[in-house]
């Protein structure tokens, strides 16, 4: 298997962009929205994959997690569009909430398979 065939090869540029964002914190609003959409779509994709692989296991919980994740996306996009206080601290808080929410969602997906 070549390195180019692995999932890490596809995600590596995105991870580098997140690290750069976290260092600079003051990235453009457009890039913040792209990060939110990308990570949320990864969670939804994993939920759909779970439902396709295990059609008789926890379908309702997976659908509830998709709805939760979409609510998180809506909340974060609304916060990006309506900044409050100092911009740098505001966007840092949004980014931290995004990472925390996505991590919790991935942990819930992992718990579904057990």
Work out the percent of the chain whose per-residue pLDDT is above 90: 29
Residue 3 has what pLDDT? 41
Q: What pLDDT was estimated at residue 67?
A: 95
Q: Where in the sequence is the domain holding 46, given as residue range(s)?
A: 3-112
11-30 pLDDT, tens per residue? 556 665 665 555 555 557 88
Rounded to two decimals, what is the model's pTM? Answer: 0.73
Q: In the predicted model, what is the mean pLDDT of residues 19-42?
A: 76
> What end-to-end distance do the CA atoms of the chain give, in Å?
29
Report the candidate in 73, 61, 41, 60 with the shortest Cα–Cα distance to residue 110.
61
Q: Which residue would you say has higher pLDDT here, 22 or 39? A: 39
Q: Count structural domains, the chain.
A: 1
Question: Is a pLDDT exceeding 60 seen at residue 101?
Answer: yes
Mean pLDDT of the chain, nearest integer? 81
Let me know: does 106 contact 46? Beta carbons within 8 Å: yes
Collapsed DSSP state (helix, strand, coil) of residue 76? helix
């Amino acid at each position: 298997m070549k390195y180019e065939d692995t999932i890490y090869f596809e995600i590596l540029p995105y991870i580098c962009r997140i690290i750069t964002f976290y260092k600079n914190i003051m990235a453009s609003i457009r890039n913040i929205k792209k990060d939110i959409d990308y990570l949320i779509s990864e969670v939804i994709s994993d939920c759909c994959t779970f439902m396709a692989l295990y059609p008789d296991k926890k379908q309702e919980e997976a659908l509830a997690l998709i709805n939760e994740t979409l609510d998180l996306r809506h909340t974060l996009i609304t916060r990006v569009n309506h900044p409050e206080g100092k911009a740098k601290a505001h966007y840092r808080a949004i980014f931290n909430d995004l990472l925390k929410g996505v991590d919790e969602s991935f942990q819930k997906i992992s718990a579904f398979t057990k």
